[in-house]
Chain A
């Protein structure tokens, strides 16, 4: 009952938004796949997909590697080692992403003589910012594996690295896969901020097109739909991966 009413209501609102347009004078033809102008505009907008995706993907891979390296001292018995983890996580997590992007792009050349281009400045800032969260996800994942697992690995002769690689991490990764998927979706959305330094990814292109077409609502709607599609695909991908790795079955079996 409740949900049916809610969905009818939102459907009504949605139609109002899109078609109650006559009085708002919406001009969907600027992004219509059926007009020549619309096709050219869409092509321009969609052209940003590659940068958005590639940047997010690279940042994800880097932040996973860095996050894992930061997570390992976080589970050590040694207190100084553990505090390096805490300090990194607390500091990096506190840096807001937008200022970080600006700082990397405009600040690094002054302070270190390194001028990254738009793309790599974006990758660097996204990866750094995300690595603190990945580190926490990995730490929680590793700690969720019972101690008996690494003890058993030790009694069959595995050393620390082998224990991590063959016993603890494979189980931890199955458990944190949904969280990693979340983080990837979040990264794709946050990559929009890299538009401020000039990278022509999805959001930048939308803004540029609005300057010439003056149709903010239509173009931003397309932009949101673009992100929506990307993230839906990622979600399905992660689910597929979960099934393939048998995470659901594995987690249920415990």
Chain B
């Protein structure tokens, strides 16, 4: 295992009760690589990324984050510590803390989990707010921001932990169309800086611009995995072809 590998999943299986949601997942992501995951609703995309940061636990197979393995079915303290420093996550519904101001949202993790002082955390937070182009919103409550601004705060909040891997689960699906671009722009900037990203999205424009690898999931399996060029021009399976036709029509 080289340290170049950010995420390595081998024969990962997961069940919700009797429902087999992830089937024999093999996935390798290098540091600096951008992976876009797509697939029909219910195919297990969210579950896949949630297994990587252990919001869900898998039952079979192995997951390694930067060479450290997570033992199946156990939320070990070691795994939790690893995830805390290695993996950041952006949710579809933003999940900002509504009782805290924007800057407090950003400083909570660095102060409580990384042990930064208030002034260190504030400085870091302002840094990342500038990266997502909303430093002037620092003292507002999330409810006072637009959806696009809220999602950019959520991205900054994840970045404040300075993770080596960023996970995005449909970051633009809950946004009005006119706000999607501002969030995607921030994500493209991140990609250009070389951030390791695993992005669940149906924004194929973003995928074409930013992805190194496309992953197509169906019914709990990774059905196709390819470079964007080949993926879009010549999908191998009929299922994937059909899916691409559907979403590219819009």
Shortest Cβ gap from A38 to chain B (Å): 50
Please state if B141 and A253 are interface contacts (CB–CB under 8 Å).
Answer: yes
Residue B93 lies at the interface, judged by CB distance under 8 Å to chain A? yes
In-complex Cβ contact of B91 among A151, A159, A174 (8 A): A151
Residue A113 lies at the interface, judged by CB distance under 8 Å to chain B? no
| A149-B95, A170-B99, A253-B143 known; A155 vs B89 contact (CB < 8 Å) | yes
* Interface locus among B1-9, B15-23, B105-113: B105-113
Residue B98 lies at the interface, judged by CB distance under 8 Å to chain A? yes
Q: Provide the residues of chain B in CB contact with A96, threshold 8 Å.
A: none
Q: Provide the residues of chain B in CB contact with A152, threshold 8 Å.
A: 89, 91, 95-97, 154, 157
Quick one: closest B residue to A246, CB to CB?
B99
Please state if A155 and B108 are interface contacts (CB–CB under 8 Å).
Answer: no
Q: Provide the residues of chain A in CB contact with B95, threshold 8 Å.
A: 146, 148-149, 151-152
Residue A154 lies at the interface, judged by CB distance under 8 Å to chain B? yes
Give bound CA distance, A158 to B98, whole Å: 17
Residue A72 lies at the interface, judged by CB distance under 8 Å to chain B? no
Q: Provide the residues of chain A in CB contact with B80, threshold 8 Å.
A: 159
Query: In this complex, which of A156, A158, A159, A167 has the most chain B Cβ atoms within 10 angstroms of its Cβ?
Result: A156
Give bound CA distance, A152 to B99, whole Å: 14
Please state if A254 and B89 are interface contacts (CB–CB under 8 Å).
Answer: no
Please state if B112 and A254 are interface contacts (CB–CB under 8 Å).
Answer: no
Residue A162 lies at the interface, judged by CB distance under 8 Å to chain B? yes
Residue B158 lies at the interface, judged by CB distance under 8 Å to chain A? yes
| A149-B97, A171-B99 known; A155 vs B158 contact (CB < 8 Å) | yes
Q: Provide the residues of chain B in CB contact with A146, threshold 8 Å.
A: 93, 95
Residue A250 lies at the interface, judged by CB distance under 8 Å to chain B? yes
| A166-B108, A253-B98 known; A148 vs B91 contact (CB < 8 Å) | yes
Residue B87 lies at the interface, judged by CB distance under 8 Å to chain A? yes
Q: Provide the residues of chain A in CB contact with B89, threshold 8 Å.
A: 152, 155
Please state if B98 and A156 are interface contacts (CB–CB under 8 Å).
Answer: no
Query: In this complex, which of A154, A162, A246, A253 has the most chain B Cβ atoms within 10 angstroms of its Cβ?
Result: A154
Q: Provide the residues of chain B in CB contact with A253, threshold 8 Å.
A: 98, 141, 143
**Docked complex: B151-185 residues within 8 A CB-CB of A:** 154, 157-158, 160-161
Please state if B91 and A254 are interface contacts (CB–CB under 8 Å).
Answer: no
Quick one: closest B residue to A173, CB to CB?
B99
Please state if A156 and B108 are interface contacts (CB–CB under 8 Å).
Answer: yes
**Docked complex: B94-129 residues within 8 A CB-CB of A:** 95-99, 108-109, 112-114
Shortest Cβ gap from B61 to chain A (Å): 22
In-complex Cβ contact of B112 among A151, A155, A162, A250 (8 A): A162
**Docked complex: A213-254 residues within 8 A CB-CB of B:** 246, 250, 253-254
Give bound CA distance, A153 to B114, whole Å: 13
Quick one: closest B residue to A160, CB to CB?
B80
Q: Provide the residues of chain A in CB contact with B143, threshold 8 Å.
A: 250, 253-254
Residue B27 lies at the interface, judged by CB distance under 8 Å to chain A? no
Shortest Cβ gap from B165 to chain A (Å): 12
Residue B53 lies at the interface, judged by CB distance under 8 Å to chain A? yes
| A151-B91, A162-B113 known; A157 vs B84 contact (CB < 8 Å) | yes
Q: Which residues of B contact A (CB under 8 A)?
A: 53, 55, 80, 83-85, 87-89, 91, 93, 95-99, 108-109, 112-114, 141, 143, 154, 157-158, 160-161
A-B residue pairs in contact (CB < 8 Å), sample of 26: A148-B91, A148-B95, A149-B95, A151-B95, A152-B89, A152-B96, A152-B97, A152-B157, A153-B97, A155-B55, A156-B160, A157-B113, A157-B114, A158-B109, A159-B80, A159-B113, A166-B108, A167-B97, A167-B108, A170-B99, A171-B97, A171-B98, A246-B99, A250-B99, A250-B143, A254-B98
7 additional contacts, CB 8 Å, given A152-B95, A157-B112, A253-B98? Answer: A148-B95, A149-B95, A156-B88, A157-B113, A171-B99, A253-B141, A254-B143
